[in-house]
Structure 1
Amino acid sequence: MKIESGVRRRHPARAFPVLKELRILACRACSSLAILSAFSFPARAEDAFGKISTPFGVEVGTFEVIQFAMFLGAMGAALLSAGWLIRERSRIANENRQLRDKVADLNVTVQRNEAMLNLKDQRIIVWEGGSSTPNLIGNLPPEIGVPEPRSLFLAFGRWLRVDSVTLLDRSIAALREKARPFDITVETTKGAPLEIQGRTSGGYAIVRFINVGEARAEQALLKTENYQLSEAIGTLRGLLESVDMPAWSRDADGRLNWANPAYAKAVDAREPHAAVSEARELFGAQARERMEREKAASRRFNEQLSTVVGGDRRVFRVTDVAGTTCSAGVAVDISEVELIREEYKQTVLNHSDTLDQLNSAVAMFDANRRLQFFNQAFAKVWGLETAFLESHPDNSMLLDRFRSDGILPEQPDWRRWKEQVLSAYHSVEPQEHLWYLTDGRTLRVIVNPQPKGGVTWVFENLTEKLELQSRYNTLIKVQGQTLDHLAEGVAVFGSDGKVRLFNPAFASLWSLKKEQIAEGMHISAVRRLCEPVSDAVHWEAFVTTVTGFDDERQSLSGHIELSTGKILSYATAPLPNGQTMLTFVNVTDSVQVERALKEKNEALERTDELKNDFVQHVSYELRSPLTNIIGFTELLQTPMTGPLNEKQRDYLDHIGTSSSVLLTIVNDILDLATVDAGIMELDISDVSVADAITTASEKVADRLKEHNILLDIRITPGAGSFRADASRVKQVLANLLSNAANYAPEGSTVTLSCWREQAEMVFSVEDKGPGMPGYVLDSIFKRFQPYPNGGRKRGAGLGLSIVKGFVELHGGTVDIESAAGKGTLVTCRFPLEARTFSIAAE
Structure 2
Amino acid sequence: MKTGSSRRTSAGGKIRRLMRRLTAGSALAALASPASASVENLLTTGTIFHSSEVITFSVLIGVISAAMISAIWLIRQRGNIETENRDLNAALADANQRISRFQALIADKNRRIVVWDGLSDKPEFLGLLPAETGAPQDDRDFLAFGRWIKSTSASELEKAIELLRSNAQSFDLVLETNRNEVLEAQGRVSGGRAFVRFVALNNLRAELADLKLERDRLHASLSCVQTMLDSIDLPVWQRGPDGNLLWVNHAYAESVEAAAPAVAIREGRELLATVAREKIRSVSTYDTPYRDKVSTVVRGNRTFFDVVDAKSSSGSAGIAVDVSEAEAVREELKRTLKSHSETLDHLATPVATFDGSQRLQFYNQAFQTLWDLDMGFLERKPGNGEILDRLRAGGKLPEQLNWKQWKDQALSVYQAIETQTDLWHLPNGQTLRVFATARPQGGATWVFENLTEKVDLETRYNTLVQVQGETIDHLSEGVAVFGPDGRIKLSNPAFRALWGVSEADAKPGTHIRAIEQACISSYDQPDGWKRFAHIITSFDDERPSCQGVLELRTGLILDFAVIPLPNAQTMVTFVNITDSARVERALTEKNEALRLADSLKNDFVQHVSYELRSPLTNIIGFADLLKTPTFGALNERQAEYVDHISTSSSLLLTIVNDILDLATVDAGIVELDLSEINLTDFLDEVSLQMADRLQESAVTLRIDAPDTLGLFVADHQRMKQILIKLLTNAANFAPDGSTINLRCRRDGNDFVFSVSDNGPGIPQDILDTVFNRFESHGQHGGAGLGLSIVESFVSLHHGTVSIRSHEGEGTEVTCRIPSGDLQKAEAAE
Q: Same fold (TM over 0.5)?
A: no
Structure of higher CA gyration radius = 2
The TM-score, its normalising length taken from structure 1, stands at 0.39
The TM-score, its normalising length taken from structure 2, stands at 0.39
